[in-house]
Amino acid sequence: MTELTGSDPRPSGGTPPPGCPAHQGAVPLSGLEYQQSPSELYRTMRREHGAVAPIVLDGNVPAWLVLGYAEVTYVTAHDELFARDSRRWNQWPVIPPDWPLMPYVGHQPSVLFTEGAEHQRRAGVITQALEEGVDQFELAQWCRSIAHQLIDSFAGSGRAELMASYAHALPMRAAVQMCGMPAGGEDTEHLVTDLRISLDAREGDDPVAAYGRVAERIQRLVKEKRAAPGPDVTSRMLTHPAGLTDEEIVQDLISIIAAAQQPTANWICNSLRLLLTDDRFALNVSGGRLSVGQALNEVLWLDTPTQNFIGRWAVRDTQLGGRQIRAGDCLVLGLAAANTDPQIWPEGHIGAENSAHLSFSNGEHRCPYPAPLLADVIARTAVETLLERLPDVVLAVEPEELTWRPSIWMRGLTALPVSFTPVVR
């Protein structure tokens, strides 16, 4: 495997522009109007291009979207061919510093961009810290307490917008508490806000400044835990025999918290949407005949929180799905498309016991164990507690009025307004 050093993500070289034969008919993966039903786009792309489709990212930058289940599995299982260090990208000479996707592909000293033995070292620290620093039963208790606090803030009004007031807030508070910060308090609330801005900026937000404040707060947390360690993930990482530097721990903690928040928030909200709009669940879940777990699993198959993931970079010239992939080409993992690949899964494959989806990715760079289990605890507790507290909750709008965020990367609602009988405690 090629050894990469230094921090400059712009190696020399380049690939043919999108007008070359390899990218004839490339589909723009930005500014699309398909966000309300991306599955239709994936079906069209699969029909016209096969399992690997030519695409262009923001600024007409060429890449490949891997649509097939078998092909995504192959890419993620062969790091020697498709690696994570983005400094391999052959398009860096034409990427401007303010490119919108820079936060996703600009190389950082975090576990996300490591490879080989270094990735095993960093991921091993995270895995052990999560295993030893988080008790699943204790996490469920934390989440239940956080859920009750959040529900108390709107239960008396009879109306709420659950995306902002519940689904986003709960996993963030749980994540920072796992890392050794109190779930409440002004300092934590500022961190929650800044993480939201850095991950999901809205008009008027400054995500770069917000991310800087997040890094500063996590740096203080690491310093505090070095002086006074406790039974938390941060302290476990600091005392791990692998001897990670403070900078490495800060970057990896940000990755842990970010991964726990945005995808889990969308998982919670997408599951609540399913429960409130699908008669299979809406008519039966209160009676216990269909489980919340079944809804959570179905969402991972059909409305997975992370639709597409950028990415992998080809280590050398190779072939994939009948396509000629050049060294340094960028591959976007189409997780949502792969989960619904008709070449692999016949209709009706989704079931309570079928967890072969790719929503947590696959291979060395999949979500490290036990992160998926912890995310399930957070999401399941959030949904179950809300339904227990507000048993007659219903949508406050017609289902077709719900809109999805205009994102090709994440699958989540812009808002989930509900109404219910006011509850006074």
pLDDT tens digits for range 312-352? 999 999 999 999 999 999 999 999 999 999 887 766 566 55
Which pLDDT does position 83 carry in this prediction? Answer: 97
- Give the Cα separation of 172 and 170 in Å (integer): 5
Number of H helices, E strands in the chain: 15, 11
- Give the Cα separation of 206 and 202 in Å (integer): 9
Which pLDDT does position 354 carry in this prediction? Answer: 78
- Give the Cα separation of 195 and 217 in Å (integer): 11
158-196 in b/e burial notation, b at 16+ Cβ within 10 A?
eebebbeebbbbbbbbbbbbbbbbebeeeebeebbebbb
Averaged over 358-373, what is the pLDDT? 92
- Band (8; pLDDT cuts 50, 70, 90): very low
Pick among 1.10.3720.10, 3.30.1490.20, 1.10.630.10, 2.102.10.10: CATH of 21-419: 1.10.630.10
3 state SS of 83: strand
Give me the count of residues in the chain.
Answer: 425
- Give the Cα separation of 260 and 256 in Å (integer): 6
* Domain boundaries, given as residue ranges, for the chain: 21-419
Which pLDDT does position 15 carry in this prediction? Answer: 45
Q: Does pLDDT of 263 surpass 50?
A: yes
CB atoms within 10 A of CB 356: 13
197-218 in b/e burial notation, b at 16+ Cβ within 10 A?
bbbbeeeeeebeebbebbbebb
Which pLDDT does position 376 carry in this prediction? Answer: 96
- Give the Cα separation of 81 and 68 in Å (integer): 17
- Band (219; pLDDT cuts 50, 70, 90): very high
- Whether the ω angle into residue 370 lies within 30 degrees of 0, i.e. cis, is yes
- Is 397 within 8 Å of 161 (Cβ atoms)? no
- Give the Cα separation of 84 and 312 in Å (integer): 5
Structure tokens at 289: 């005949």
Q: What percent of the chain has pLDDT over 90?
A: 64
Q: Tokens 């072969």 appear where?
A: 356
pTM: 0.89
Closest C-alpha to 364, from 131, 80, 110: 80
Q: Does pLDDT of 197 surpass 50?
A: yes
- Give the Cα separation of 425 and 422 in Å (integer): 10
- Give the Cα separation of 130 and 373 in Å (integer): 10
Structure tokens at 405: 């965020």
- Give the Cα separation of 308 and 151 in Å (integer): 32
Amino acid at 193: T
- Give the Cα separation of 305 and 315 in Å (integer): 28
Q: Tokens 């921090």 appear where?
A: 7
First-to-last C-alpha distance (Å) of the chain: 61
3 state SS of 395: strand
